[in-house]
Structure 1
């Protein structure tokens, strides 16, 4: 038997030893079940109550301590022949610590106390005097992987993934992972895994020695028996562990690691990578020393402002993901028809195909469709897909040269140039061909939906679905609402965003929506500084030092100077925000087709996808940072006050995932609260006196004005 039904049955039919295929039955514990099979092997199942996935909460760890105590109590009378640790959840093994509990730990001493107890607990598991085997399916991440490392053997089910993503929360492993991982697979692969936070798949994990076998689910029972005999060969860290006991060598390699990590995560903003390297440099002679000093290092990081903000960002992501859970009664999108195969449309079509949807792509220029298919193939290669997987993606991306597929699509999305008359012409052609219930979506970046709906017979099924460039990297999609939008269309659009692994931000149909409304004054101010004679590299460096992923000049080139100019003109026309006039030299660049990265020349000259930058640009004046950041914050406050977006949390999430706003700062409004509304208001007034009314503070900064609380704090 083959196909999706067989695959689904395979996933559900977990080998659970004495529990059969259903982890049911009485247990003295809420989250764990312990039972022996006919051969005297104890099977311990982790099945966290009232949770879709297993996480290591304080309650789960406390119960694990009771389970291990029970096992130790059997040693004198009736010890088991071995222990098998397995998840009772069909989806994964364990995805790590319960991050919600991090927010209730306020001091280093409190963190150290809890971690020391947890270390003692898992050490008792590791010290059991009979063989232990972790059977891992799905994801074993963070604390889940650290729990598996306490077992003598690890058997992975095909498709299993392993990772130490703590660095993404401003941390490093804290449940013994630093020492045990280094001892097991060697310092270089272990440190690489912990510093990058990237996952490792089953076969690579086997080659590294992270797991001892990779099997299919139906072979688990035999693999467990083989492991318990002691015949399963285990790969050790070997020569690396011996070599890196030499302190000068470890320090030399540590400097290289620290420098490489700093290129992607400056230590002044993201201290975790540097702290991990320090830990290994000082105490990496053996795993036991790493285990001992891991606790205090983890405690310092967890109570840092960076980690607290990154934990906040984690929950912002979860909050936005939850918006896509609209219920099983809402029909999913199965087929998408994209109109326009340009930079955005082609990438949207390719991404949807990559996420498993059938996509038809129309453009009046066949060569544009061919280019989009080529870019999708390149994306598959970057995702390290094999030939068969790439072929499957490309088979789902179907050229449509004559609009024939409109009537079969569940969602038709236009991504044509940002001109109202062009979009109206597309809609007049498309709407009569839509099947009942189909969604008509626009990737407009700034045009109000009230204008787009003019002339539609059924405006209730028009919705803005605004992606950001580059589509494969930017996680945000703005769902733009309007007064005629039906609830069913809105919910299906949200579900669609979840289907393609993106994060939605519902926004009202105001000029520029949220992200472009906030970014435009930031970009315009950078261009005004160019007009004053400041160097592009100097301006960009200020933003990079603040923590932005790229500077505003490079960003303008990435977005496209034509798009920036169009949005600025629209906002200047429709909002009373005192935006300055665009310099004539910039309009001339756009007229000459020097639009930025996509044409090879804009504010920078581009080669091989990167801007050519001068290495000797002077340092920018101190006021440059406020001139860049405060207009962005001012626009964010205006969007909140005008109900463009519901609350500060969604705004912060949208700006982080849509613009890359410095994640370690927790979002623009989190930064504004920390800096102080009054300080921002006064500074904006000062800048307005120096540089003009474009800096006039929004009324929302008044300390007596009502604001939305940061409820995630």
Structure 2
């Protein structure tokens, strides 16, 4: 006789005529499923119900599915993390989740997870507690542990269970990097047991898995051997060395805490799971995790800026240089039909070649690469303008050239098309002066390299309406970028704050200080690269042009001016402040002082000062937008929460 089914908001459960239990998670009032404390409490009641039904023979298996169109479970509920970081709450909450997932694993009947879309963090940990996992093998399925991006690591037993299924090297790799796997990759690692082509096949395949009592296989001995005996210490040391190339332990402690846990217990998945709690609790309340959560919510907030129901199919880019060509390639990669215009094919071809390289790197399969290339069309005469939903000018930073281009384009636009400039420093009002309708021109300022930097500054002039800016933000979101709306002013946000920082560092080099020491100090502070290497990466000619536009003189007799005059423009020419080989700056050895990070704070001070000025002038709406914009546009230390947050905390 079935006991009373618990009342639940997050879950629905029914038993069919074959005594199969169908458990569906569908969080109310949300577009994605997350594991909140309430959801976990409800699941506890349901699992107790399953135990009773299994003991009485009324239930022969459970199939876990998602009711959301977009995916399975995106992880734990991050909005609860601040409250959960309390030392009086978190250990017990983790123990409760551990006990629940262990009860699921201990059920005498098969439990099968059917995965589509995102299966991340706590969602993957729940799936790993099930006995068998089936995933939809399409481009929307993404499986992984992104916790490291929030300053923590898996805390619901995912460390030991992923090592048990995938082996120590593969499991640790995905936990340490936060990399999301496609379904086929997860199947190859052993995190998923079976693939199906379509979501509507999950139910049938899961039914067969229960009836056949299928059970996932653990990683083979050859993989598990990498965690056994003395070899585990060697593997752990290699992992620390690799982590050290990307993150310093004082900035991002989570990867190192996870490696320490692996070194202690990596040969025993159950011990690894038990050890999670003691290692996890200090991380959750750390300043790094607190600030990374702030960055996450600020990033998510940017997604709410776009116009609703905006649709973009065709993009026309004018200018096939590095920026224009890479913007065109990125739009094609994201599924847009793109026409790329320049004076002749000779100027367009290098951009097409770079685009193919990007597609090969990102898409892998030849068919997908070929399809992306078909979406990107060379267009020397500009026939794509009249059909485009978005027209982006990305030529040199020359006011007269930009005005001339827009004068020739305006009459060809279709109604409702976005007309945009990728200017990095010139106010929009000056560019729009000659237009019949200056309100049509907005700014869409991308950052180099386009494929790596997520920010797009959506620049608003005095002529623009809210609707036009919302459309620009919607386009940025449509191509997977993060829009920050900024007022038209010299340098806007990012270049305005970057230039005093970069030029201040250049002045130190001019005075004879070591460029290697300056760059090392900035990295020790938390910047992704030093200001001199950054100037070389941006291009010394571009840096000089933006500096001049912002009123910063570059003295004629300076080394900076001499390098530009000699055509030594940085990375793109093979030499600037550094010599460049195979895309890397060739740096000499330098002795580092004890307080390297202190020197870094000194170097970064002009950037932080200017961020305060920019907010005070209303270039961005508030300090939160300034912080997230500077993080996304410059790589400013995310673990500090942004320049203004860092100053408020006394860390910048």
The equivalences for 1:124-143 within 5 A come to 124-143=103-122
Counterpart of 2:643 in structure 1 is 668
Q: Which of residues 57, 71, 94 is equivalent to 2:73?
A: 94
Gaps of 5+ in 2: none
With over 3 angstroms needed to count, the CA separation of the structure-2 counterparts of 1:75 and 1:332, relative to structure 1, is closer
Contact 1:94 1:144 in 2 (8 A): yes
Q: Secondary structure at the match of 1:108?
A: coil
Contact 1:535 1:617 in 2 (8 A): no
1:351 aligns with 2:330: yes
1:170 aligns with 2:151: yes
User: How much does 1:530 deviate?
Assistant: 0.5
The equivalences for 1:511-590 within 5 A come to 511-572=490-551, 581=555, 584-590=558-564
Counterpart of 2:175 in structure 1 is 194
Stretch deviating more after TM superposition (119-128 or 620-629): 620-629
The equivalences for 1:310-459 within 5 A come to 310-324=292-306, 326-328=307-309, 331-459=310-438
Q: Secondary structure at the match of 1:453?
A: helix
User: How much does 1:76 deviate?
Assistant: 3.9
Matches of 1:41 and 1:655 in 2, distance apart? Answer: 52
1:63 aligns with 2:45: no
With over 3 angstroms needed to count, the CA separation of the structure-2 counterparts of 1:621 and 1:208, relative to structure 1, is closer
Matches of 2:219 and 2:649 in 1, distance apart? Answer: 45
Q: Secondary structure at the match of 1:675?
A: coil
1:642 aligns with 2:617: yes
1:288 aligns with 2:270: yes
Matches of 1:339 and 1:479 in 2, distance apart? Answer: 18
Matches of 1:617 and 1:531 in 2, distance apart? Answer: 19
Q: Where do 4+ consecutive residues of structure 1 move more than 4 Å?
A: 579-583, 617-623
1:279 aligns with 2:261: yes
Q: Which of residues 570, 574, 585 is equivalent to 1:600?
A: 574
Matches of 1:419 and 1:97 in 2, distance apart? Answer: 49
Matches of 1:499 and 1:150 in 2, distance apart? Answer: 35
User: How much does 1:298 deviate?
Assistant: 1.0
1:251 aligns with 2:266: no
User: How much does 1:313 deviate?
Assistant: 1.0
Normalised by the length of structure 2, the TM-score is 0.96
Q: Secondary structure at the match of 1:93?
A: strand
Q: Secondary structure at the match of 1:424?
A: helix
1:263 aligns with 2:222: no
Count of residues in Structure 1 that have an aligned counterpart in Structure 2: 644
The equivalences for 1:485-504 within 5 A come to 485-504=464-483
Contact 1:132 1:228 in 2 (8 A): yes
Contact 1:361 1:400 in 2 (8 A): yes
With over 3 angstroms needed to count, the CA separation of the structure-2 counterparts of 1:148 and 1:626, relative to structure 1, is closer
User: How much does 1:616 deviate?
Assistant: 3.5
Matches of 1:106 and 1:282 in 2, distance apart? Answer: 25
The equivalences for 1:113-128 within 5 A come to 113-128=92-107
Matches of 2:588 and 2:187 in 1, distance apart? Answer: 45
Matches of 2:503 and 2:344 in 1, distance apart? Answer: 33
1:300 aligns with 2:282: yes
User: How much does 1:229 deviate?
Assistant: 3.6
Gaps of 5+ in 1: 1-25, 574-578, 681-713
Normalised by the length of structure 1, the TM-score is 0.88
